[in-house]
Every structure is written in C-alpha cells, then in structure tokens.
Amino acid sequence: MKIGVIGAGSWGTTIANMLTLNGHVVTLWVYEADLCERMRDRGENDIYLPGFALSKKIKFTNSLEEAVSGMEMVVSAAPAQVVRRVVSKAVPYISQSAIIVSLSKGIEEGTLMLMSELLKETLPKSLNKNLCFLSGPSFAKEVAQKLPTAVVIASDNKEAALKAQNVFSTFYFRVYTHDDVTGVELGGAVKNVIAIATGIADGLGFGYNSRAALITRGLAEISRLGSKMGANPLTFSGLAGLGDLVLTCTGELSRNRTVGYKIGKGATLEEATGGMNMVAEGVATSRAVHQLSKKIGIEMPITEHVYKILYEGLPAKEAVTNLMSRDLKREAE
C-alpha cells in the first residue's frame, strides 16, 4: 500500500519506518527543510529519534503535496494543536478514497474539539467515513526498538478499521480494533494531564501510594468526562484508557510526566518545557480539558489543579493540600 505520513516527530518517524519494514511504500513529510535533508543523507532523525537507522526505502519530503498525493492511506502524526493547520493545507491533494489514520492525542484549544471532530470539520465529507484513530500505550522509542507493544485503532467504519489494523500490525506491534472513537480519543488525550499530575507528585518526593491514588482518581475523571460525552465507560479499562494512563504516568520516557516532575522540583512551566525537542501534549490539553469540564458541567479536581499550577501559578504543595482536604464522599461520586 502507498502511504503518506504527515509529521516526522518521534512517533511519526517510528511509524513511517515500521510501515516501510512491513512492506508498504511510505513517504514521510518533514516540516523542517534542514532536517529533511539530513534524514535523506544520513537515514536518521537526529532531533526526534536519534540513534535509530531508518529504512533506506522511506521517501523523505518537505512537500505536503508530494507526501499525500495519490496515497491509499494518509497518517496524521502532527502535534494536536497544529493538526487543523497542517491537514487543511494537505486536503486538496488527498485522494477521496484514502483511509485517514490519526495518531495525534489531544484536544484543540479554543474549539475544545477532539481530533475526530476537528478532522470531520476539516476534511471533505467523502473522507469522513474513512477516519481511524490509533491510540494506546506506545512510547516511540520502544516501538523503534521492536519491543512488544499493543494498541487500538478506533473507527466508525469497521471496514476501514480492519484495513488499518492489517496495515499496522507486525510481530511486535499488535493492533486491536474498537468502535468507540470518542472513548479512545479521550483516553489518549486526558491521560497526558494526569501524567503531569503524577510527575508533580514524584517531583515533590511523594511515594507509590500517591502515584496509585492519582492514577486511579485520574481514571475516574477520564471516565466521568467520557460518559458525559457519550463514550462507553468500559473503553477506559482498555488499552486506550488504563493502559495508556499507566504507561504515561509511570514511564521514564513520558514527556508529560517529565514536565510535571520538573515543576514538582520547583521549575516554572517555561523552565520545565524549555529545551524540549518534542511537544508535551498535556500542557495545552490541561487548559482545554479544564475549559471543557466547566462547559459541560462535570467535576475534574485533579485536572483543575494541574491547570491552576500550570497557568495560574498555584504552588504544587498547596494544590495537594486542596485535593486532600476536599469534602469527603463516596468513591463512586
């Protein structure tokens, strides 16, 4: 299959390489022209995935038109906050029969849209039926190392999901299908906010009890939001929910946890994110989820306090005191 991958961050690069090794003809769009040239010359993404030799069969391009024209599948791996801008530029060149697979995890600031809502608004209606969304516990570096990984692809179109499942599956990358697009997307987006919270707790020197509490109550917040938005609550016990949440909250490779850890150690948001080559999606998503929870009227105390720490200067220790001294209630509430 001819596949165009939009975005050469660590995840987009890893997926492009995996798909090529899986026998597909892949073109990877690289935003930075100088990086694109180096990737052609050296066969390595020295900024976002250093130390990994890429297949010589990948075609690297700085042209969106070249990346998506005539492709049977287009994979969007751009950061969530720029997906609308990038995909809008690519739309005129995308085949009307192409399957679109989104890898982006986040909620757009301003509109408060999930990637599925954003893409349905941005793409022609003829392509909406071919939308798929890949999520689950998957650090790019480990997939690049061919370490066993399991993820999920969600779509309203069973046929498109099955095609994407077959295209992405390898001996080390196991793909399940799902029909709950909203649930899969919310799990992948909001877990980044909870990961910032667990990172802050770790930075403050708290223990495993605190981490377990944040993960569990964070999952309750995700489920509460998902149920209100029409998702199946059972989705959050799967790979895109609990699986991705545990990985991102505990893994040393988690960018969002790292940002939180630095803040817990006393860094400002600017200091915590400065010098990072890759985007910590939870920083923007925390603001979007905070606004979304207020808009639809649900309580998300962990998310609210992450937002206040990042954007209102609330001291991390004070946030902990606030959370621990809230009114007592039943766990199910």
Average of per-residue pLDDT across 141-150:
98
CATH number at 143 reads 3.40.50.720
CATH number at 225 reads 1.10.1040.10
- Which helix or strand (DSSP H or E) is residue 73 part of? strand 73-76
Average pLDDT score over the chain:
96
Tell the burial category of 246 from Cβ atoms under 10 Å away from its Cβ (0-12, 13-18, 19+): middle
- Structurally, the chain folds into a number of domains equal to 2
Is the residue at 184 inside a domain? Answer: no
- Which helix or strand (DSSP H or E) is residue 177 part of? strand 173-178
Catalytic positions, written as ranges: 191
Domain end position, chosen among 145, 179, 213: 179
Rounded to whole angstroms, the Cα distance separating 248 from 3 reads 28
Q: Which of 61, 60, 106 has the alpha carbon at shortest distance from 84? A: 106
Is the residue at 185 inside a domain? Answer: no
Is residue 33 domain-shared with residue 151, that is, in the same domain? yes
Is residue 162 domain-shared with residue 197, that is, in the same domain? no
Q: Give residue-wise pLDDT tens across range 304-320.
A: 999 999 999 999 999 99
Q: Give residue-wise pLDDT tens across range 180-212.
A: 999 999 999 999 999 999 999 999 999 999 999
Is residue 226 domain-shared with residue 259, that is, in the same domain? yes
Identify the bridge partners of residue 100 per DSSP, sorted by sequence position.
74, 131
Is residue 168 domain-shared with residue 253, that is, in the same domain? no
Is residue 61 domain-shared with residue 98, that is, in the same domain? yes
pLDDT at residue 333 greater than cutoff 90:
no
What's the CA angle centered on 176, arms 170 and 178, to 5 degrees? 150
Tell the burial category of 170 from Cβ atoms under 10 Å away from its Cβ (0-12, 13-18, 19+): middle
Q: In 3-state terms, what secondary structure has residue 274? A: coil
How does residue 278 score in pLDDT terms, banded at 50, 70 and 90? confident
Is residue 170 domain-shared with residue 234, that is, in the same domain? no
pLDDT at 282: 86
Is the residue at 332 inside a domain? Answer: no
The DSSP result for 12-67, as a single string, is HHHHHHHHHHTT-EEEEE-SSHHHHHHHHHHSSBTTTBTT-PPPTTPEEES-HHHH
Rounded to whole angstroms, the Cα distance separating 157 from 181 reads 10
Q: Two tokens at 233?
A: 């609550």
Find tokens 């999930």 and name the residue: 114
Domain end position, chosen among 151, 179, 207: 179
The parent domain of residue 309 ranges over 190-324
- Which helix or strand (DSSP H or E) is residue 181 part of? helix 181-203
199 touches 256 (CB < 8 A): yes
CA distances from 12 to 8, 104, 111, 122, 207 (A): 5, 10, 25, 21, 34
Tell me how far apart the terminal alpha carbons of the chain are, to the nearest angstrom. 48
> With left for phi above 0 and alpha for psi between -120 and 50, is residue 74 left, alpha or beta?
beta
Q: Give residue-wise pLDDT tens across range 257-276.
A: 999 999 999 999 999 998 77
Is residue 197 domain-shared with residue 265, that is, in the same domain? yes
Rounded to whole angstroms, the Cα distance separating 29 from 263 reads 34
